[in-house]
Amino acid sequence: MKRLLILLSLIWLIVTPALAQDPYRIHMILWRGETQVEQGFRAYMDSRQIPVEITVHNINRDRSLIPGILEEIEAARPDLVYTWGTSIALATAGRQGEADPARNITDIPVVSTMVSAPKAVGLVPETGITGRNNTAVSHVPPVPTQVQAMKSYRPVRRIGVIFNPAEQNSLVNVESLRAATAAEGIELIEAPVPLNADGEASADVIPDLIDALADAQVEFLYIGPDSFVGTHSVEITERAIGHNIPSFTATELEVRDASAMFGLVSRYEAVGALTGFQVEQVLVQGRDPGSLPMLTLDRFTFLIRRDVMQRLKLYPPMQILRYAVVIE
């Protein structure tokens, strides 16, 4: 018996290192620090018992930091790069057919999340499968579906949109919004934010833009996936409320953290979990990211802010309350 115990102990010492999985090394490049998306991602990895060592690079809305971070990542050679948002995704992986090893990461797997229109901006081709070192997760419902959501709340003839013309994802979204509103016979009033001499949007003109949309008698203010607008969403939505204009959004934070009245959104934790699934396919299953299709959630949440609804005295039809999520 003693010899057997010694033998089993020796076997355990030999086998245990083989069973222990070294953590997968992931470098995250984030737009404004960790969000509920990353919480959902981390929770997914924990639930799947996938060991990860995560290094966070927070650019804090400063795109000029990206090249230096990419150099650091190239030197570190992690197992995978995780990016947040369209701008960082394009800077990291490059556009389809235009990726440059001198500027982009082309030989380390890249999984990009929170990309509003991966096909339209050229991050992935129309097939959704890149055939290179990257794949993506999108969070924005189709724009025609968003327009239908606004119409379901109340009849609408005129919608206003404020956007940053320096952001390609915002331009792509507004183009889709033009087509969707025209198809429904809705007038779209556009309010692009003027750019300064450095080509950057200026927040100083936000009050004037909202006031002009109010003068145009818009019935909804549309807030799309736009980093500049997201940064100033509290000011924008509150100014709109001052004119009795409800804001509709395609992203969750404008409802939760600003004063958008409602939106058709992807829950951030769910987007993070879906991103975790993509990462698992690459790291654990050994799938080539270029063979994985771009993913988006197949269900979206109709999210309503009760206090904003009450401030505006705009109550939804009863049928919406059967499926909407109402928050304070």
> Per-residue pLDDT tens for 169-182?
999 999 999 999 99
**Nearest alpha-carbon partner for 235 in 207, 277, 270, 269:** 207
Residue pair 218/209 in contact (Cβ under 8 Å)? The answer is: no
Homologous superfamily assigned to 143-265+301-327:
Response regulator (3.40.50.2300)
Residue 175 has phi, psi (to 5 degrees) of -60, -45
pLDDT range class, residue 3, cuts 50, 70, 90 = low
pLDDT of residue 21: 77
Residue 255 has phi, psi (to 5 degrees) of -80, -45
Backbone dihedral region of 162: left (phi > 0), alpha (psi from -120 to 50 degrees) or beta? beta
pLDDT of residue 4: 38
Place of tokens 């509290």: 234
List, by residue range, all CATH 3.40.50.2300 domains of the chain. Answer: 20-139+268-296, 143-265+301-327
> Per-residue pLDDT tens for 37-93?
999 999 999 999 999 999 999 999 999 999 999 999 999 999 999 999 999 999 999
Distance (Å, rounded) from C-alpha 104 to C-alpha 99? 6
Task: Output DSSP code: residue 118.
Answer: T
pTM of the model: 0.88
SS3 (DSSP) at 298: coil
> Per-residue pLDDT tens for 207-252?
999 999 999 999 999 999 999 999 999 999 999 999 999 999 999 9
Per DSSP bridges, beta strands 110-113 and 247-249 are: unpaired
| CATH number, domain 20-139+268-296 | 3.40.50.2300
Distance (Å, rounded) from C-alpha 257 to C-alpha 273? 21
